[in-house]
Amino acid sequence: MDKYTKEECLEEIGKDGTLDNIDLSELDLRAVDFKGISLKRAKLTSARLNGANLSGCDLGSADLTFTNLTQGNLENANLSESNLYNSILQNTSLKNCDLTAANLSETDMTEANLSGTNLTRADLSQANISKTNLQGAILDGSNIDKSSMTKADLDERGATRLDG
């Protein structure tokens, strides 16, 4: 996996829409538009993606540990089996995302929008989910041990499932 610069990354985005297996760790990618790009198994460790548009992206099995995604847009993105350990997702939209079996432990998701998100078997242990919109989210088999869910918005009709 070769390490890319921000300029090389932006150049690659314009080619074929695929950045699979790319190493973008520690890059400043604030407000970059990645909409619909495939970033499967990408390494984004400690990247600064504040305000970035990652809507519709395929980030399956990506490494996003220690990444700052504050105020980002990840709506309809695939983050299944991704590692977001200790990342910052404050005020981030993850609406209708697939976070199946993702590692979100010790992640700060304060005031994030996770409505309609699939969190089946996700690890949310010690995560801060305060004031987060979880309406319609699926939490089957998720680990929420020692998570802070103060004022989290759970669906009153029971659409949010928390089994396991």
pLDDT of 158 over the 50 cut: no
CA distance 116 to 139: 10
Contact between residue 78 and residue 99 where contact means Cβ atoms under 8 Å apart? no
Looking at every residue in the chain, the average pLDDT score rounds to: 92
CATH of the domain at 65: 2.160.20.80
What phi and psi, each to the nearest 5 degrees, are found at residue 153?
A: -95, 100
**Against a cut of 0.75, is the pTM above it?**
yes
Cα-Cα end-to-end distance for the chain: 37
The mean pLDDT value for 146-152 works out to 90
Residue 119 domain boundaries: 1-164
* Domain count within the chain: 1
Q: What is the pLDDT of residues 45-56, one digit of tens each?
A: 999 999 999 999
**Which one, of 111, 104, 63, 70, lies nearest residue 89 by Cα?**
70
Q: What is the pLDDT of residues 117-136, one digit of tens each?
A: 999 999 999 999 999 999 99
